[in-house]
Amino acid sequence: MALPSSKVFDMRMVRMGGILFALLCAVQLDAQDLDSMVSVYASALPKEKIHVHFDRPQYNRGDTVWYKVYLLVEGLPSPLSKNLYVEWYDSAGTLLTQTVAPLFQSTAHGAYPLPNNYTGSHVQFRAFTRWMLNDDTAFLYRRNLPLNNGVVSPPNAKPTISKTSVALFPEGGSLVVGTKSRVAFKATAPSGLPVKIRGVVVNQKGEVMDSVKTIHDGMGSFFLWVQPGEDYRLDWVDNQQQKGSTPLPTALKDGVVLSVRATNEKAIVQVERPQQSSEDNKVLSLVVHQEQHILFKAAIKLGERIQQRADIPIDELPSGIVHFTLFDAQQRPLAERIILVNNHNHEFNAKLNPITVNLGKRGKNAVEILVSDTAVSNLSIAVTDATVPNAWAHSIYSDFLLSNDIKGYVHQPAYYFTSDADSITARLDLVLLTHGWRRFNWDKLKRGESPVVKYAPETAYMSLKGKVFGAKPTPGSPMQLNFFLVNKDSSKQFFITPVDREGQFEEPGIFFYDTVKVYYGFNGNTKAASGAQVKLDNGLLKKEPGFTLLPGALPPITGTMDSLARARLNYFLKEQDRLRK
């Protein structure tokens, strides 16, 4: 069955005005019009994604962690956020510090000095924008950075034995009686790291249906014909000879099985139902969507047939996760599957040209990076020991195209972008079968419920705001505050800020690196200052739901005060002066 290849939306456009309009206006739509509601959600809640380039994959105590952050929405620089929140936790999950960095051209950078007395095995890094808190917090950017803490196990120490966990994932979401299903499995240690297992699939009588073993990083799959009245389990043994048994999910008596196999040019979709099915499961609709935009729709009329195949072209789609959702005749979701399209349209060629090479201790080296004249680039470079492991741990490709869209820990995700070989593609498919992902709440869409936006986008940098208490205003003389901001390098900024009748004041667009000291006074009104108190705030997010921060702690703006940082600071100060004129 061939399907039309027309795209429903231009996925490369994100317009700020449309986003704000969607936030402010109530939506009145037909509850059945899923297309329109998906469009509303895409406009009202575009998803920001983060990649962080660290200067190396692992650290020692006392080292400084240097990093640069890239923020995109639908593959383009995000217009939604001007501030990036960064949190550092110890290996036990206790907050060490929180900082805020300004986003310029959708990038930010910073540094964190690791304490010399830190004894944990790793530090946890979390980064997000205020806007990202409207989404499931499982999709906030997280990384564990391993540390060499100098602790060496005794040579005769016995290996630690940990309990292995095995989870099973039917393709499409459910097993259905009377159909053949692919079932993926994932074996992990309590740490989340993969474990090798082998085993057999048996029914309740102990009859062997199939034998299995892990193919890659604790993952594998098998096929199963689901028979009426039978239950199944996977009996397994791991590489430490621990034995276990994991039951398969109970099969549905009436349902539909969705399977998807991707090639370079197309996605081959197969839909199967049992011989005895309800009428609602004989007239189906398939919706293919990416980045909250519908790409393709197709009606699948099974009638008396139990199987049907559909070929969907994917060779011109943007690279990234693509969702396939199957609905019954009442627009109820029955099954869902994701694939990853990698058409390499996110890449460009760059050439590294050494200018000065000096391999001596602290020798100066200079390199030139050449890119095409047509490529608009924002780059970062790190120099590290080539023998350091974890080369496949993370990359800008794996973060933006894979990890930001699926839930749970993925072991060495950058590996899946090293080649287009069939073996790597098959292993990537196991990742997609064994992890959760971003989903629409289709029931809410069907009811026509408008998206809820709890956190407005931060489209401006930090503000100097607050309230004056106990002041005695002079009739006919508006109250004003004089502010002096003194940076660590002794540079100063001066503002005259009006105070309203309620004592409120705000100076927007404040920008600085590191921390500043704030001095203030009442402009020419000593009487008003008598007995007055001023409460200051920086207008930034103080805490994030589910995490406890120090009461009243204001996160400072941090960054690297190198030549680049100073140039950026000068630019913002000039822009600040220009806007005030």
Residues of the chain within CATH 2.60.40.1940 domain(s) are 165-247
Q: What is the pLDDT of residue 540?
A: 81
Q: What is the pLDDT of residue 18?
A: 38
First to last CA, the chain: 64
To 10 degrees, the CA torsion angle through 385, 391, 397, 398? -140
Residue position matching structure tokens 């195949």: 309
Q: What is the pLDDT of residue 33?
A: 67
Please state, in angstroms and rounded to a whole number, the distance separating the CA atoms of residues 407 and 401: 13
The CA–CA distances, whole Å, from 271 to 200, 325, 434, 514 equal 27, 11, 20, 57
Residue position matching structure tokens 């956190």: 455
- Residue 253 pairs in a beta bridge with none
- Residue 18 pairs in a beta bridge with none
288 by Cβ neighbours in 10 Å (0-12 / 13-18 / 19+) ranks as buried
Q: What is the largest CA-CA distance in the chain?
A: 93
The CA–CA distances, whole Å, from 456 to 129, 363, 465 equal 10, 48, 18
Amino acid letter, 247: P
How many Cβ atoms sit within 10 Å of the Cβ of residue 63? Answer: 17
10-residue mean pLDDT series, the chain (581 residues)? 36 36 34 70 91 91 95 94 92 86 92 90 92 91 82 51 91 96 95 93 96 97 96 96 96 96 94 93 93 90 91 92 94 94 87 92 91 82 74 88 92 93 96 89 81 89 85 72 85 88 85 80 71 82 47 32 46 56 55
As assigned by CATH, the class of the 165-247 domain is mainly beta
- Residue 238 pairs in a beta bridge with 197
In 3-state terms, what secondary structure has residue 347? coil
Q: What is the pLDDT of residue 152?
A: 43
List, in order, residues 6 or more apart from 97 with CB less than 8 Å away.
87, 88, 112
- Closest of 105, 154, 95, 2 to residue 567, by C-alpha: 105
Neighbour order of strands in the sheet with 492-498:
492-498, 480-487, 516-522
Q: What is the pLDDT of residue 267?
A: 95
How many Cβ atoms sit within 10 Å of the Cβ of residue 282? Answer: 18
